[in-house]
Amino acid sequence: MNDEIVLAGRSGHQLMELSRQMGWSLNETEMKVIASHFLKLKRNPSRIELESLAQTWSEHCKHKVFTGEITLVENGKKRVIRNLFKSTIKKATLGIAKKKKFLWSVFWDNAGIIEFTKDFGVAFKVETHNHPSALDPYAGANTGVGGVVRDILGCGLGAKPIASTDVFCFADPRTDASLVPSGILHPKRVFKGVRRGVKEYGNPMGIPTVNGSIFFDERFLGNPLVFCGTVGLIPRGAEKKRPRKGDSIVVIGGRTGRDGIHGATFSSAELSEVSETSVVQIGNPIEEKKVLDVILQARDRRLFNAITDFGAGGFGSAVGEMAQGLGARVFLDRAPLKQQGLLPWEIWVSESQERMVLSVSPAHLKAFRELCAFEDVEAFELGTFTGSGKIELFYGTETVGVLDLRFLHEGLPLFCERAEWSAPVFFIPSFSQPAGLNAVLRQLLAHPNIASKESTVRQYDFEVQGGTIGKPFVGRLGDGPADAAVIKPLPDRPLAITLSNGINPWYSDLDPYWMAASVIDESIRNSLSVGGNIDHLALLDNFCWGNPTDPRKLGALVRTAQGCHDTAQAFGTPFISGKDSFYNEFRIGEKTISVPGTLLISAVSVMPDASALLSMDFKEAGNPVYLVGSTFNELGGSHYLHVLGKTGGMPPLVRFAQAKKIFESVSRLTRQNVRFAPRMVRAIHDLSEGGLAVAAAEMAFASPYGVELDLSFVPLGEKKMRADEVLFSESNSRFLIEVQAEHENAFRRLLKGVPFARVGTVTPEPFLRVRGARGELLLDSSCPVLKAAWTRTLDW
Amino acid sequence: MLQRIEVGYRHLEDDVAGQGVRASLQEDLGVRVNSVEFVDVFESEPGFSSKDLFFLAENLFSDPITQTVSIGRPLRSRFDFKIEVRFHGGVLDNVGEMAAYAVRQMIPSAPADLRIHNIRQYVLHGRLTLVQAEKICTKLLANPLIEHYTIMQRKANER
């Protein structure tokens, strides 16, 4: 083997220096383990072997933080956590799986799969594409969508993508340009680029983009977060896969190029003003559509035994993963290239887009090749799966590397870090109730986190495939913000899928545990508000964190994972898939800005009857309006405090037992609803950012009507609360519901045992009027005025 | 030989891309210009016979109802600034690749090593300084990580 690299004899410091120079992102312990492995083999490693190890052992591929050993010092007490993922998120799922039987495939594959009907499953995966999107927003988001679509294509024996979701975190697009340091793109440019990137992948592929959310905070300035999710439909039996010894390793799709080398290891590095540029790639959705057509036909004809996508780490990661328990012989010179002159190691780790790898038995090779030719997709045989336990890499007749599979997958030393956590002390900010609450409400509605995202959503095709029955915007004019999307993918069956999300990093500044509980609660609330079913609902977690070697940040991560476990367990809503992204930091000169600890929860639920679909706009004047759930003085991390420029406060907690009861009651309500004519529940909206006032305003201005509320009837969780606290608290597990007048009694019966009260009435005049305990008018705004405030902020 | 085809719109109101850039200039950068014309440029290597070239220009590269084409010379001769943005070598040029694919479908005798590059041209009309034009490039039209740009300024004595 040529291009040997001498590790023996190098000091720890020198090894680290080498890792840094080569862009491997391996730490000193890992470099030492690799050095001693090759010392035992009595030879020097080649470049390609070290590249393979670096990519496979990257945070991106091995999730070292979540599977490592964390020594947590919590309030002065020390405890060791071995495998945070297993002891929190996975533990919750395994516990729930004993009772709920809808889980088909969780955690091991490219996507999680739950049962939809007896013969179809729903696959769901959400990825992050933060670092590439920081460098070029368009290209980063574009390939982010392409990547997660391939995850769905490469899950089981291939699922058919039926919907996409996209969630972004940016800095405020109104940020003054002079405050944006050089080397960083202005947040508005990032926003526009990301949006165009999503549009120009999802739309041409014919996959509707149906759900999403955008959260703004100045700490996302240098490191925006871009979450891309895709849902697929998979026939029963196709959720399992296994390559066989003797199968050909067949690669289909795009060609291999120099673009996208070192993406996996790059994601473990902090961004700086001089980041590598070869990691910027642009996607080709038309190529991926052709690949999709091949895969689905080949799946139905069972022409292959296993499939996966090429994500981070390229051939090296994907082939290394598939060959586990087998072995592989790989001929790198066979790969068709985009440009000549690529070195073998570059071919092996290139992350060029739109490529998939399949394990095809020799008997089907001819038929598979014919199918590819028919669909105009390039296919070639990269090598074969063997039983040697080794990956043998050739270029022509020359051996360029030999990797022991066991060392590749199990040789990685445990990530060991110290974490710290001390119970937060909440202080309640003291201020008097502002005089002009109407103006405060307008400010809240105009806040970019709450403001209408219609100008963004309308750029996406959310109708293609014809199954989107619950649209992102609802109401008589189609401009009210829906809580979740509903897809009915099978024309001949009444079942539907709800897609929703929850995200709020501001709560994690106060207590990440309650942040996790709150965003799970939010994602479930959103789902139930369109008719989702709490008994058939699954969650996906996406963590975006700063540097995990900072004990406080790692402590916050542990605390978040515990929140995930406790909440999921309490609600009986299992996690089925997830992803983590670390080192979301940006350095400018001496200053490091880290993103706030951000957890995106995506919820997927199966509705047995699509006609139970609900929307949030008021339907009929004179109908009573009910508030379900208790309101507490929980202004911590709220948008109300934010627009007032205050900090502190209690973060919203989740009272697990009561919340579960509320969710079950609301779920029952929406299921029974189809038996009533006219429907009993006419409109339902969850209370989140901006609390009761914002939810009521949105329900009103999405309709031609108005609403009158009386705060003295609001069910309170604590004795003394000021009117502004009741109006703007972001307490969890609450819904505002318009009930058909003649069905009020039935409605009350169905909600027995949970806190609820009639708080107002839908009015024929389009005004939002709220009265306080003494009958005083606290809010009196015309709905068109409120709506104008809400639509203006992001109307470009 | 390198051949160049430039495609633009007959009427300003059909030029959505140009209008979008004009609006972004004003809203995002605070720069006012009278108008922006967008021109799609295709560079082909090797070139074609003039018969093939005219056929392709009419039937592939342009919509003859809304667009006009210029072969071998600039479509827009009147401008204050002309900015062209193209990808660095090695960055995927979807439009260029798709154009080459289409050419091979329409002209089976097209050379196998045919390469077509797509270049975005923005023709700006308005009072601007060179410094402003640079800013327009780096802040709006091009990302130097994956693209490079050229700026052409009208000669001072022309009007």
| CB-CB contact of A487 with A499 (8 Å) | yes
Domains contained in chain B, number? 1
Is any Cβ of chain B less than 8 angstroms from the Cβ of A286? yes
pLDDT at A25 (0 to 100): 86
Is any Cβ of chain A less than 8 angstroms from the Cβ of B139? yes
**Mind telling me how many Å the CA of A191 is from chain B's nearest CA?**
12
Residue of A nearest to B95 (CA): A284
Confidence of residue B112 (pLDDT cuts 50, 70, 90): confident
| CB-CB contact of A352 with A256 (8 Å) | yes
Residue of A nearest to B97 (CA): A284
* Contact criterion met (CB < 8 Å) for B143 and A257: no
Is any Cβ of chain B less than 8 angstroms from the Cβ of A281? yes
Is any Cβ of chain B less than 8 angstroms from the Cβ of A671? no
Longest CA pairwise span in chain A (Å): 89
Would B137 be classed as within a structural domain? no
Residue type, A475: G
Which residues are A603's β-sheet partners? A500, A539
**Mind telling me how many Å the CA of B105 is from chain A's nearest CA?**
13
Would B26 be classed as within a structural domain? yes
Would B151 be classed as within a structural domain? no
Is any Cβ of chain B less than 8 angstroms from the Cβ of A727? no
* Contact criterion met (CB < 8 Å) for A186 and B28: yes
Radius of gyration for the alpha carbons in chain A, expressed in angstroms and rounded: 27
**Mind telling me how many Å the CA of A450 is from chain B's nearest CA?**
22
pLDDT at B158 (0 to 100): 57
User: In this complex, which of B29, B98, B146 lies closest to A136 when CB atoms are compared?
Assistant: B146
Residue of A nearest to B20 (CA): A796
Would B154 be classed as within a structural domain? no
Domains of chain A: 88-130+150-176+200-217+466-614 (3.30.1330.10), 616-796 (3.90.650.10)
Residues in chain B with CB shorter than 8 Å from the CB of A281 are 91-92
* Residues B53-101: tens digit of each pLDDT: 889 999 999 999 999 999 989 999 999 999 999 998 878 899 999 999 9
Low-confidence ranges of chain A (pLDDT < 50): 272-277
Residues in chain B with CB shorter than 8 Å from the CB of A266 are none
Is any Cβ of chain A less than 8 angstroms from the Cβ of B140? yes
Is any Cβ of chain A less than 8 angstroms from the Cβ of B16? no
Residues of chain A with pLDDT > 70: what percent? 98
Would B87 be classed as within a structural domain? no
* Residues A267-277: tens digit of each pLDDT: 555 554 444 44
Q: How many other C-beta atoms lie within 10 A of the C-beta of residue A67?
A: 15
Radius of gyration for the alpha carbons in chain B, expressed in angstroms and rounded: 16
User: In this complex, which of A135, A189, A258 lies closest to B90 when CB atoms are compared?
Assistant: A258
Domain that holds residue B69: 3-77+92-124
**Mind telling me how many Å the CA of A549 is from chain B's nearest CA?**
30
* Contact criterion met (CB < 8 Å) for A189 and B146: no
Give catalytic residue positions of A: 60, 129
Cα A771 → chain centroid: 39
* Contact criterion met (CB < 8 Å) for A189 and B91: no
**Mind telling me how many Å the CA of B54 is from chain A's nearest CA?**
27
pLDDT at A273 (0 to 100): 44
Residues in chain A with CB shorter than 8 Å from the CB of B145 are 135-136, 277, 280
Would B57 be classed as within a structural domain? yes
User: In this complex, which of B94, B139, B140 lies closest to A284 when CB atoms are compared?
Assistant: B94
pLDDT at A274 (0 to 100): 43
Would B135 be classed as within a structural domain? no
Which residues are A575's β-sheet partners? A539
User: In this complex, which of B90, B98, B139 lies closest to A186 when CB atoms are compared?
Assistant: B139
Instruction: Select from A545, A542, A566, A539 the least CA-distant residue to A557.
Output: A545
Is any Cβ of chain B less than 8 angstroms from the Cβ of A282? yes
DSSP string, A281-313: ----HHHHHHHHHHHHHHHHTT--SEEEE--TT
DSSP string, A339-394: SS---HHHHHH---SSEEEEEE-GGGHHHHHHHHHHTT--EEEEEEE-SSSEEEEE
CB pairs under 8 A between A and B: 42
- Tokens at residue A470, please? 């619950």
DSSP string, A67-109: HSEEEEEETTEEEEEE-HHHHTHHHHHHHHHTT---EEE-SSS
Confidence of residue B157 (pLDDT cuts 50, 70, 90): low
Instruction: Select from A273, A280, A279, A268 the least CA-distant residue to A584.
Output: A268
pLDDT at A271 (0 to 100): 55
| CB-CB contact of B41 with B5 (8 Å) | yes
HSE (side-chain half, CA atoms, 13 Å) at A786:
31
Would B61 be classed as within a structural domain? yes
Given the DSSP bridges, would you call strands A209-216 and A160-170 parallel, antiparallel or unpaired?
parallel
pLDDT at B156 (0 to 100): 67
Cα A586 → chain centroid: 21
Residue of A nearest to B143 (CA): A136
Given the DSSP bridges, would you call strands A706-710 and A624-628 parallel, antiparallel or unpaired?
unpaired
pLDDT at B46 (0 to 100): 85
- Tokens at residue A334, please? 């066979």
